[in-house]
Structure 1
C-alpha cells in the first residue's frame, strides 16, 4: 500500500507541480506526518522532492526533473505494461489505475492485448465473477463454500481453504485444503457453482511438493494406449495430444500413442470421437469400447 502511495505522490507532482501535505493526507486518508515520512523516503531514494514554506509553498519536484525512463529499456517497459494488463482478469481496480499511469509516464498508448473470459462458449454465465471471488478469498485467507460436481457427476457441498488458482491444459483449477475430506484437493472451476466467501479465516498450511499432477497421479492409474484417428478428427488431435505422440499416416489419418487414465472417463473420451477413432491397443480397452457400443445399439433397438 505504501509503495502504491509513493508512486501516486510522484505522479501527482509530475502533473500538478505543487501540492500540500494536507491535500495529500486527505487524498490518501493518512496523517500529515505520514505524508512527510513518504516525502523523506522519496528524497532518500534520489527523487528531488522538497517542501517549501510560506504563501504559495508546498511539496514540489525540481522543475527540470523527469522520471528516468532510461533505467528501463523499451522492451522492459513493454513487458511491465503487458504483465499488468494480464492481471486485469483479477478485476483489481488498482491494476488498471497503475497501468494507465505507467502508460502515460512511458508515453505509450494502452495496448489491449489480452482478455480472459472464463465462461464457456455459448453460455450467458460469466465465470469471471467466481474467479474474482476465489482470488479475493485466497488473498484474504478466507474459507469458501461451494457446490461441486465431480467427474462422475456426483453433487456435493465443499468447504475449502483456497490456496492457488491454476490454469492447466484447457481449464482453470482451484487448489486448496478440503475441510470435508480433510486433505488437499484440486477442483475444476467449471464444475463449481454458488461460490461463497465465509466469515472464517485460515492459516496457510500449504505443504511442500503438492501439485495438480501429484494429486492426479495418486488418484488414478495411467495406461499406454494406441489410437488411430481419421483425418476429420485432426482439429482435436493437436489440441489434446503432444506433438511427439502424433504420427501422420500416408492416408491422412493419424496414429497417436499416449498415456491416459484408466477409468470410466477414458471410455467416454474415446466415444466422444464418434466414428473418427479406433483403439488399436490395449486389447482390453478395445473390448470395453465394443461392449459399450453394443449397449448403445441395444438401447436404440428396444
Structure 2
C-alpha cells in the first residue's frame, strides 16, 4: 500500500508545479506527518523534490527532471491520453485518471490537441454503463428491463462479457440467463439497470461475436439517394460501395445481415422519405411500401 502511494505521489508531483502537504494528505487519506516521511523516501530514491515556502508553498519536482520516454513515443502517449480521458469521463474511472497522470509525465509539452474522442452517452444511461463495467470486472450478474426489436418488454439477467461502442451506440455482449444463450444488447433500450451481488464463473466456450453472424444470411442492399439526402446517407454509410450519377444522385451498395429484419435499416431509409429509393432486394421495397401506406392511413382526413 505504501509503495503504491509513493508511486502515485511521484506522478502527481511530476504533473503539478507545487502540491501542499495538506492536499497530498487529503488525497491519500493519511496524516501530514506520513506525507513528510514519504517525501524523505522519494528524495532518498534520487528524485529531486524541492520544498517551496510561503502561503502557497508545498513540494514540487526540480525543473528539467524528466522520466524515461524510451518506451513510448510522444505521439503514442498523446493518443492514449486522449482516449483514456474520454473513457475516464464516461465511466468516472479513477484508475484511468491515475494512468493519465502517469502518461502525462512522458507526453509532449502542452499544446492544442490534435485528436479528440467523444464517446457520447446521450442515448445511454451513464449508470447503466458503470454497472455493466463493474459487472465485467467483478464478474457480477446485471439485471435490467429491455425493449427488443419486436417492441416487447422483457426482464433480463445477464453475465456481461464486454462493452462495445459502435454505430454511435453502446452495446453489451453477454451470456443471457433468461435465454440461456449469448446475446448482444443495445444500452439505449435498457431500463432499470442494476448490479447484483451474485457472482458468476466465466464461460470458456463463449463464441466470438463474428461467429454469431452467418455469412449466408448477409445480403447486399442497393438504394439510390437523391441529391438532397446525400449528406445523411454519407454520414451513415461512408464505407459503402458508391456510384455517383450525372443528375447528382448516388447509388449505394451495403452488405446487411438479414436485411428484411433489420429494423435499424428500415428506420433510416424511411427517415429519408422521398430522398431515397430501394432498388434491391425487391422484398424490402414491398416492406417499405407497406409501412408508408400504413403511415398515410393515419392522415387520411388531412
Per the normalisation by structure 2, the TM-score is 0.71
* 3-state SS of 1:289 partner: helix
Cα separation, partners in 2 of 1:188 and 1:3, compared to 1, 3 Å: farther
Aligned to 1:257: 253
* 3-state SS of 1:152 partner: coil
**Separation in 1, partners of 2:237, 2:8:** 48
Cα separation, partners in 2 of 1:237 and 1:3, compared to 1, 3 Å: farther
2:136 is the alignment partner of 1:135 = no
Q: Give 1:278 shift.
A: 1.3
8 Å contact kept, 2:260–2:283:
no
What whole-Å deviation, never above 9, does each CA across 1:64-85 have from its counterpart, x for those lacking one? 9944334354334424433432
Q: Give 1:137 shift.
A: 1.7
8 Å contact kept, 1:137–1:144:
yes
Cα separation, partners in 2 of 1:300 and 1:96, compared to 1, 3 Å: same
* 3-state SS of 1:300 partner: coil
Choose 154-163 or 99-108, whichever is displaced more.
99-108
* 3-state SS of 2:156 partner: strand
Cα separation, partners in 2 of 1:219 and 1:206, compared to 1, 3 Å: farther
**Separation in 1, partners of 2:111, 2:138:** 30
Aligned to 2:229: 233
2:183 is the alignment partner of 1:185 = yes
* 3-state SS of 1:214 partner: helix
What whole-Å deviation, never above 9, does each CA across 1:258-278 have from its counterpart, x for those lacking one? 233222625444322211111
2:289 is the alignment partner of 1:290 = yes
What whole-Å deviation, never above 9, does each CA across 1:129-188 have from its counterpart, x for those lacking one? 321221112111111110111112111110011111011222110011111111111000
Cα separation, partners in 2 of 1:134 and 1:226, compared to 1, 3 Å: same
**Separation in 2, partners of 1:223, 1:142:** 38
8 Å contact kept, 2:240–2:252:
no
8 Å contact kept, 1:163–1:206:
no
Aligned to 1:276: 275
Give the alignment's Cα RMSD to 1 decimal.
4.1
Structure 2: 5+ residue stretches without partners = 48-61
* 3-state SS of 1:69 partner: coil
2:117 is the alignment partner of 1:117 = no
**Separation in 2, partners of 1:202, 1:233:** 48
Structure 1: 5+ residue stretches without partners = 50-62, 121-125
**Separation in 2, partners of 1:203, 1:109:** 45
**Separation in 1, partners of 2:223, 2:63:** 70
Cα separation, partners in 2 of 1:143 and 1:277, compared to 1, 3 Å: same
Cα separation, partners in 2 of 1:296 and 1:102, compared to 1, 3 Å: closer
- Number of corresponding residues: 271
Aligned to 2:239: 243
**Separation in 2, partners of 1:220, 1:154:** 27
**Separation in 2, partners of 1:12, 1:225:** 54
Aligned to 1:96: 97
Per the normalisation by structure 1, the TM-score is 0.71
Higher relative contact order (CA 8 A, sep 6+): 2
